[in-house]
């Protein structure tokens, strides 16, 4: 059995297909499972033992190529997929690109989204996945199993790293016995708290609660700039890793934390996969779809109505506003979300204290 899964999206989206991969491997014991992912997301699945090959789609590279070079690059990818003769293709995206790849492949069974706009491409699938915005994305990813009459063995989300990653974090934090991990950044700025609020959270943890804080960011220059602003506003001295840790190293760091505090971002999903108690702030996006998944309960029982929501060891904090979740890039697409900027800081403090006592 040869299986290809398409997930050409962001890091968090890519991580959350891990339960689907594990179920397919559990059912088809000798299956070969390949995954097509977007460049820059591959590390989130790189060490997964149930994956045979990660095929990386270089979207950014394609933008810098001439039309002819792009054609050759895409042709090589499509030829590779067709020649692999997959038995099953599962397209977890909703765009025409994945549908076209599915069309070109020689897979006998092809599962894809019913939301594909092109009737021609949509009708090339042998099975269609119905879109349901009321479900968590982990549950949505598992819908293809029901179509194939495959029983669900596990709903856990898994994340792996190397021993080298583990050793590097041990060396960097060798004198720190307990710490809170804070990653306050998302790829979309409109999901972020403001820097002043983040600095207050850090000071509260370090000064009031006497807990060391480790703050991380990606190598993105904007994130590093904002991290520098946060640290400068702090009256305490958090341990700062400004873009100098890999994704897998951050995962190893997070696993040792007593609490994670952050926003709707890939690191939040990694934290939940690590079973690290996770406090997440939500604004324009819906926790019903993207909230921190609970591996112990194997669910993501959140709603779209705001407030403080509890899911076992994890919590979500958001305002209660009629406009939420709007899925916009900030208020009036300004990249700034009032619903995150105006969160009550005392409510945040009390939830942090409560979670540390659990």
Helix (H, G, I), strand (E, B) or coil at 303: coil
CA dihedral sign, ordered 266, 270, 273, 279: negative
How far is Cα 244 from Cα 224, in angstroms, rounded to an integer? Answer: 10
Question: Model pTM?
Answer: 0.95
Residue with tokens 């979300």: 337
Helix (H, G, I), strand (E, B) or coil at 252: helix
How far is Cα 42 from Cα 237, in angstroms, rounded to an integer? Answer: 33
pLDDT in tens, the chain (358 residues): 999 999 999 999 999 999 999 999 999 999 999 999 999 999 999 999 999 999 998 866 556 666 656 656 778 889 999 999 999 999 999 888 889 999 999 899 999 999 888 888 898 899 999 888 889 999 999 999 999 999 999 999 999 999 999 999 999 998 898 999 999 999 888 999 999 999 999 999 999 999 999 999 999 999 999 999 999 999 999 999 999 999 999 999 999 999 999 999 999 999 999 999 999 999 999 999 999 999 999 999 999 999 999 999 999 999 988 888 999 999 888 888 888 988 999 999 999 999 999 8
Instruction: Provide the pLDDT for residue 72.
Output: 67
Partners of residue 38 on adjacent β-strands? 57
Instruction: Provide the pLDDT for residue 71.
Output: 58
Q: What residues contact 11, with CB distance under 8 A and at least 6 apart? A: 40, 41, 43, 44, 187, 247, 266
How far is Cα 261 from Cα 128, in angstroms, rounded to an integer? Answer: 37
Which structure tokens are listed for 18? 């891990």
What is the edge-to-edge ordering of all strands in the sheet holding 127-129?
A: 53-57, 32-38, 2-7, 88-91, 109-113, 127-129
Closest CA to 261 of 179, 357, 338: 179
How far is Cα 248 from Cα 84, in angstroms, rounded to an integer? Answer: 29
Helix axes 96-104, 67-83, angle to 10 degrees: 50
Instruction: Provide the pLDDT for residue 249.
Output: 98
Instruction: Provide the pLDDT for residue 187.
Output: 86
The full DSSP string for 60-85 is HHHHHS-HHHHHHHHHHHHHHHHHT-
Instruction: Provide the pLDDT for residue 86.
Output: 97
Structural domains of the chain, with CATH: 2-147 (3.40.50.2000), 163-357 (3.40.50.2000)
Instruction: Provide the pLDDT for residue 63.
Output: 62
Largest Cα separation within the chain, whole Å, is: 61
Nearest 5 degrees, angle CA 323-CA 277-CA 329? Answer: 25
Which structure tokens are listed for 196? 């002043």
Partners of residue 261 on adjacent β-strands? 182, 279
Instruction: Provide the pLDDT for residue 177.
Output: 87
Instruction: Provide the pLDDT for residue 192.
Output: 93
Helix (H, G, I), strand (E, B) or coil at 308: strand
Q: How many residues does the chain have?
A: 358
**Cβ-based neighbour number of residue 173 at 10 Å:** 18
């Amino acid at each position: 059995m040869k299986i290809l899964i398409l997930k050409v999206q962001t890091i968090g989206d890519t991580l959350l297909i891990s339960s689907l991969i594990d179920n397919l491997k559990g059912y088809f014991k000798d299956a070969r499972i390949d995954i097509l992912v977007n460049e820059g997301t591959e590390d989130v699945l790189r060490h997964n033992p149930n994956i045979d090959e990660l095929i990386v789609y270089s979207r950014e590279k394609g933008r810098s190529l001439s039309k002819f070079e792009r054609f050759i690059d895409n042709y090589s990818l499509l030829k590779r997929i067709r020649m692999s003769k997959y038995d099953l293709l599962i397209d977890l995206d909703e765009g025409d690109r994945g549908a076209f790849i599915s069309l070109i492949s020689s897979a006998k069974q092809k599962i894809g989204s019913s939301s594909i706009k092109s009737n021609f491409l949509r009708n090339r699938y042998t099975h269609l996945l119905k879109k349901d915005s009321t479900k968590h994305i982990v549950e949505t990813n598992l819908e293809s199993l029901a179509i194939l009459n495959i029983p669900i063995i596990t709903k856990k989300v898994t994340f792996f790293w190397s021993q080298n990653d583990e050793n590097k974090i041990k060396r960097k934090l060798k004198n720190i016995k307990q710490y809170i991990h804070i990653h306050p950044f998302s790829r979309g700025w409109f999901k972020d708290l403001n820097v002043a609020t983040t600095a207050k959270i850090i000071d509260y943890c370090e000064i009031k609660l006497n807990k060391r804080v480790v703050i991380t960011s990606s190598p993105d220059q904007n994130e590093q700039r904002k991290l520098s602003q946060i640290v400068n506003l702090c009256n305490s001295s958090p341990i700062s890793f400004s873009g100098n840790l890999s994704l897998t190293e951050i995962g190893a760091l997070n696993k040792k934390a007593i609490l994670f505090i952050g926003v709707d971002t890939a690191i939040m999903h990694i934290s939940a996969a690590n079973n690290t108690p996770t406090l997440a702030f939500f604004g324009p996006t819906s926790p019903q779809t993207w909230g921190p998944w609970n591996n112990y309960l194997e669910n993501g029982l959140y709603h779209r109505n705001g407030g403080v929501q509890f899911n076992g060891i994890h919590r979500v904090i958001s305002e209660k506003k009629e406009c939420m979740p709007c899925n916009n890039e900030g208020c009036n697409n300004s990249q700034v979300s009032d619903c995150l900027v105006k969160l009550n800081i005392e409510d945040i403090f009390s939830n942090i204290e409560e979670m540390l006592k659990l």
